[in-house]
């Protein structure tokens, strides 16, 4: 981010929480807040303009994913898409998932479990941070209907081997759902190559607006709607469509498709540089929770206790905020809660270290100078906290 010598700009290291709206995306959306305000269900000209914009967007998004337009359901984001993806399971059926999913998967699954769906939650390999395909294979049985595993973990950046998991269907037939909210900005997505039946995406993780996402649903999956009302989205989601947001999501996907690989390799290098510089600055106290082959944008680190006393993670974030460096502890949706991240605990990180964790996430706003400023800030704040003995307890 750009500033000047008097007023250094804040350093935004929280792209996994959300990304800024790209100017081209805003521009594409504006007409739908103005003259093209029609309801896509109206039969007159303005309605037809809105309908045309939505269906054109559906086609473009489907093409990005190598899917069919009728397999795209617009939702309010990845949370709603995840909830919808589970809306076909009945009591007695089995679902396998991981213990490191986002709450937008963990919570609806808890509800299903209380209504009688059998759930297996698999922990990742603590060495690699990645879910083992063999463990999933062992969990499958004749009643397994669904495997739901995230593509990229939002806290560590670990990448799930979806293709390998989908190949397990040689022996067992099940539907495969993935929450790909953290993946789409970084990896080209071909639903057929990955072998997924359902995929949740969110526009605000890829320079689009908040409050819009999609669920890709392969036509062999028969979902129940979870929002009843009008017949929008082929009866799968009632409610007047948010035309501007749909246009924004499409523009965002077009934009990232333009230079995805070049952007991913630039950010991967910056992330590696961040890890190297941080390790040099902090030394043995630093624990790196992000696997080497993670998605480009996430570096999760934690600080070991000193003399048995853990560093106060909330205080660390607040101090960084005062210095103008914005990051997250664990996932953004749970920060503020003092409980250590379920993902880090699932990786076997001790609770005292997990509580002092930072998720630094990079993106289009990140340059070399942001890496330097982040390392300088963390080094300074941690030293100061050590000197002031700002530990928990």
Ligand X SMILES: Cc1ncc(COP(=O)(O)O)c(C=O)c1O
Give the catalytic positions in this structure: 333
Q: What's the N-to-C CA distance of the chain in angstroms? A: 36
Among 102, 236, 342, 359, indicate the residue that binds ligand X (CB under 6 A).
102
Q: Does 213 bind ligand X (CB under 6 A)?
A: yes
Q: Choose among 278, 275, 384: nearest CA to 323.
A: 384
∠ CA 251-249-130, nearest 5°, is: 115
Q: Does 290 bind ligand X (CB under 6 A)?
A: no
Instruction: Output 71 or 101, the one with its CB closest to ligand X.
Output: 101
Among 109, 181, 191, 298, indicate the residue that binds ligand X (CB under 6 A).
181
Q: What are phi and psi of 65, to 5 degrees?
A: -95, 0
Compute the distance between CA of residue 334 and CA of residue 341 in angstroms, rounded to an integer.
8
Instruction: Output 249 or 320, the one with its CB closest to ligand X.
Output: 249
Least CB distance to ligand X at residue 347 (A) = 16
Stretch that binds ligand X, among 2-10, 74-82, 135-143, 309-317 (CB under 6 A): 74-82
Q: Does 196 bind ligand X (CB under 6 A)?
A: no
Among 53, 73, 104, 199, indicate the residue that binds ligand X (CB under 6 A).
104
Q: Which of residues 134-173 bind ligand X (CB under 6 A)?
A: 150, 154
Among 202, 242, 335, 366, indicate the residue that binds ligand X (CB under 6 A).
202
Q: Does 179 bind ligand X (CB under 6 A)?
A: yes
- Token pair in block for residue 46: 């303005």
- Token pair in block for residue 185: 């900005």
Residue in the block written with tokens 């039946």: 197
- Contact string 330-349 vs ligand X (x = CB under 6 A): --xx----------------
Compute the distance between CA of residue 246 and CA of residue 31 in angstroms, rounded to an integer.
13
Among 120, 144, 160, 182, indicate the residue that binds ligand X (CB under 6 A).
182
For the chain, give the longest Cα–Cα distance: 72
Q: In this structure, are residues 162 and 199 in contact, taking their beta carbons and an 8 Å threshold?
A: no
Cβ neighbours, 10 Å, residue 208: 31
- Contact string 217-256 vs ligand X (x = CB under 6 A): ----------------------------------------
Instruction: Output 103 or 263, the one with its CB closest to ligand X.
Output: 103
Burial classification of residue 221, based on how many CB atoms lie within 10 Å of its CB (0-12 exposed, 13-18 middle, 19 or more buried):
middle
Instruction: Output 82 or 319, the one with its CB closest to ligand X.
Output: 82
């Amino acid at each position: 981010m750009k500033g000047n010598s008097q007023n250094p700009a804040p350093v935004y290291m929280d792209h996994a929480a959300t990304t800024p709206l790209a100017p081209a995306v805003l521009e594409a959306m504006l007409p739908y807040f103005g003259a093209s305000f029609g309801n896509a269900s109206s039969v007159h000209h303005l309605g037809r303009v809105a309908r045309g914009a939505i269906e054109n967007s559906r086609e473009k998004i489907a093409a990005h994913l190598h899917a069919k337009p009728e397999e795209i359901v617009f939702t309010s984001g990845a949370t709603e898409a995840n909830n919808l993806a589970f809306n076909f399971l009945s009591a007695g059926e089995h679902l396998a998932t991981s213990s490191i999913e986002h709450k937008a998967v963990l919570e609806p699954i808890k509800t299903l479990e209380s209504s009688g769906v059998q759930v297996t939650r698999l922990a990742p390999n603590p060495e690699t941070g990645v879910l083992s395909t063999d463990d999933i294979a062992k969990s499958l049985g004749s009643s397994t209907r669904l495997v739901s595993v995230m593509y990229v973990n939002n806290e560590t950046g670990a990448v799930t081997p979806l293709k390998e998991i989908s190949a397990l269907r040689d022996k067992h037939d099940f539907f495969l759902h993935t929450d790909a909210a953290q993946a789409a900005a970084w990896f080209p997505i071909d639903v057929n190559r990955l072998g997924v039946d359902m995929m949740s995406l969110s526009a605000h993780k890829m320079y689009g607006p908040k409050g819009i996402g999609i669920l890709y649903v392969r036509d062999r999956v028969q979902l129940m709607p979870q929002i009843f009302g009008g017949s929008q989205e082929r009866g799968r989601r009632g409610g007047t469509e948010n035309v501007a947001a749909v246009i924004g999501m499409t523009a965002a996907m077009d934009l990232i498709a333009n230079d995805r690989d070049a952007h991913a390799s630039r950010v991967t290098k910056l992330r590696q540089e961040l890890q190297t510089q941080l390790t040099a600055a902090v030394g043995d106290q630093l624990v790196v929770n992000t696997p080497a082959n993670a998605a480009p944008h996430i570096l999760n680190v934690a600080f070991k206790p000193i003399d048995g006393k853990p560093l106060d993670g909330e205080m660390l974030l607040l101090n960084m905020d005062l210095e103008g460096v914005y990051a997250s502890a664990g996932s953004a949706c749970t920060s503020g809660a003092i409980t250590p991240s379920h993902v880090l605990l699932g990786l076997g990180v001790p609770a005292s270290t997990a509580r002092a964790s930072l998720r630094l996430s990079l993106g289009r706003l990140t340059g070399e100078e942001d890496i330097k400023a982040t390392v300088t800030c963390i080094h300074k704040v941690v030293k100061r906290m050590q000197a002031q003995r700002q530990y928990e307890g």
